[in-house]
Amino acid sequence: MLQIDRIPLFASADVLVIGGGSAGCCAAIAARQAGAGHVILVERYGFPGGTSTQMLDTFYGFFTPGEQPRKVVGGLPDRVVDALDDAGAVFLRPNTYGAGTGVNYNPERLKLVWDQLLADAGVRVLLHCTLVDAERDPAGRITGVVVFTKRGFLRIAAKRFVDASGDADLCHWAGVPYERAGDLDPAQTLTTTFRMSNVDLDAYESAGGKKMLARKMAAAVDAGTHPLPRKNGSLHKMNAAGCISTVAVRVADVDANDFEQLTAAEQEGRRQAFVYEKFFQECVPGFAGSHIIGLSHQIGVRETRRVYGEYRLTKDDCMRVARFDDRIALCGAPIEDHRASPDGKSEETVWGYIPGGDAYDVPYRTLVPRGRDELWVAGRCFSATHDAHASCRSMGQTMALGQAAGTAAALSLADGCGARDLSIEKLQAALRATGSVLETPTRVAATGAADWRKNHQA
């Protein structure tokens, strides 16, 4: 147990954001843009972006899937893509199925873009700084946090808090109730992504591309020549010539908040990646001279803790295309649930599409932990059931949720009110003023072109 009163105070903030992933970066930037004076962002790794830069290269959730896609995310997330586009580091991957049209980016460039956007907004960023405890007053209200750094333990005090740690770490240490992945439904599997260079993509495509790959994977598993963990892993071209990125590795039955289980999962993920490398080199046209050039910074964790909020988004809300007066974002992404089969031997990705290619409302109350006034959650630890989370976890949505949480935190300070008493009209007006999409657009936005600028005016 830490003796918090003996830990030196390092800084005080108006709004303190924990976790510099896509949600946390947007929350911190939005808090500053909405008028908060001193905003601090705490991130345990040496770069911002979380999953967006640790392992991925495609934003989903901006566009609904289907023949007539709609663009359902705008505002700050648009500015992120615009900045990538300015650097020539983005293209669209039109897609009518799966998670829909993806916004593909160069993840290393995105680290720089997050740095720049945070600096321009005036956010104080603390990297290599890990939250390890919460400080509370006698009424249980959070007043500060304890972080671990190479200088030792330090305290940061704040008036408002956004937990965007993905794992709801602040909520955990503050005693805020949450559901752990695996408690009620099987937890989604984990994936180490990897990238390969020197791929002859023309040879790959002319040999049959995706369909050919699926056949070859199934054949290799059935014949036992290459012990792949699944038959349906995917790959796509990257923002660099002759390079591809994969979502193929699969590690099941892991409590990703337990460091010993996570250690074993990291080791297993790396092992599987090189089984895939051999398979690609030996079996897939275009890959004979290719090699792995990068593994994800850490194994990809789809879900861990989800708090119980003032409202809990459910599968029924997604499937009935629910409308809420306090909407702060839209989501048309399908439920995409990566789960192991009951025998643990294979993976079923369970898809559930939103009826009519529509998009449901995400209510503000999913960002407010039950009974709290000083605290918001954003990103993958927001208040949702397993199924609803499996839809509303794409980065288009985590960025939009982050923007809403950061804006709400700043407005609550300005108005001297708590999270639950905030004027929804004011919050929605502030979001709309930045271009956030809060009404389902009827306009067909993505025409199939790979050009972001031609497609992003929703």
- Helix (H) and strand (E) counts in the chain: 13, 20
- Residue 272 touches ligand FAD, criterion: CB under 6 A: no
Would you give the DSSP letter of residue 191?
B
* Interacting residue with ligand FAD among 15, 23, 217, 438 (CB under 6 A): 23
φ/ψ of residue 58, rounded to 5: -145, 120
Residue closer to ligand FAD by CB (options 272, 285) is: 272
State the helix-helix crossing angle for 22-33 and 75-86, rounded to 10 degrees.
110
Determine the interface stretch with ligand FAD among 58-66, 74-82, 135-143, 253-261 (rule: CB under 6 A): 58-66
Question: Minimum distance between the CB of residue 272 and ligand FAD, rounded to whole angstroms?
Answer: 13
Q: Is 416 exposed, middle or buried (0-12, 13-18, 19+ CB in 10 A)?
A: exposed
Q: Of residues 300-359, which lie at the interface with ligand FAD (CB under 6 A)?
A: 300-302
Is residue 447 within 8 A of residue 454, CB to CB? The reply is: yes
> Binding-site residue total for ligand FAD (CB under 6 A)?
38
Residue closer to ligand FAD by CB (options 213, 301) is: 301
Q: Is 425 exposed, middle or buried (0-12, 13-18, 19+ CB in 10 A)?
A: exposed
Question: Minimum distance between the CB of residue 19 and ligand FAD, rounded to whole angstroms?
Answer: 3
* Interacting residue with ligand FAD among 72, 220, 247, 390 (CB under 6 A): 247
Residue closer to ligand FAD by CB (options 20, 309) is: 20
Q: Report the C-alpha dihedral over residues 118, 124, 127, 133, rounded to 10 degrees.
A: -120
Residue closer to ligand FAD by CB (options 81, 422) is: 81
Q: Cα–Cα distance between 129 and 447 in angstroms, integer?
A: 43
Determine the interface stretch with ligand FAD among 261-269, 294-302, 306-314, 436-444 (rule: CB under 6 A): 294-302
Q: Of residues 83-142, which lie at the interface with ligand FAD (CB under 6 A)?
A: 130-131
Q: Of residues 178-237, which lie at the interface with ligand FAD (CB under 6 A)?
A: 191, 193
- Residue 388 touches ligand FAD, criterion: CB under 6 A: no
- Residue 45 touches ligand FAD, criterion: CB under 6 A: yes
Residue closer to ligand FAD by CB (options 58, 101) is: 58
* Buried/exposed 171-199: b ≥16 CB within 10 Å, e otherwise: bbbbebebbbbbeebebbbbbbbbbbbeb
- Residue 50 touches ligand FAD, criterion: CB under 6 A: yes
* Interacting residue with ligand FAD among 163, 169, 317, 361 (CB under 6 A): 169
Q: Cα–Cα distance between 378 and 170 in angstroms, integer?
A: 12
Contacts for 30 with CB less than 8 Å, ≥ 6 apart: 76, 402, 403, 404, 405, 406, 407, 410, 434
* Interacting residue with ligand FAD among 16, 36, 164, 213 (CB under 6 A): 164
Q: Of residues 437-456, which lie at the interface with ligand FAD (CB under 6 A)?
A: none
- The CA-CA-CA angle for residues 171, 402, 372, to 5°, reads 35
Is residue 390 within 8 A of residue 188, CB to CB? The reply is: yes
- Residue 42 touches ligand FAD, criterion: CB under 6 A: yes
* Interacting residue with ligand FAD among 65, 269, 369, 379 (CB under 6 A): 379
For 51, other C-beta atoms within 10 Å of its C-beta total 23
- Joined tokens for residue 92: 């669209």
- Residue 431 touches ligand FAD, criterion: CB under 6 A: no
- Residue 144 touches ligand FAD, criterion: CB under 6 A: no
Report the interface residues with ligand FAD, using CB under 6 A.
18-24, 42-45, 50-52, 56, 58-61, 130-131, 164-167, 169, 191, 193, 247, 300-302, 379-380, 393-395, 398
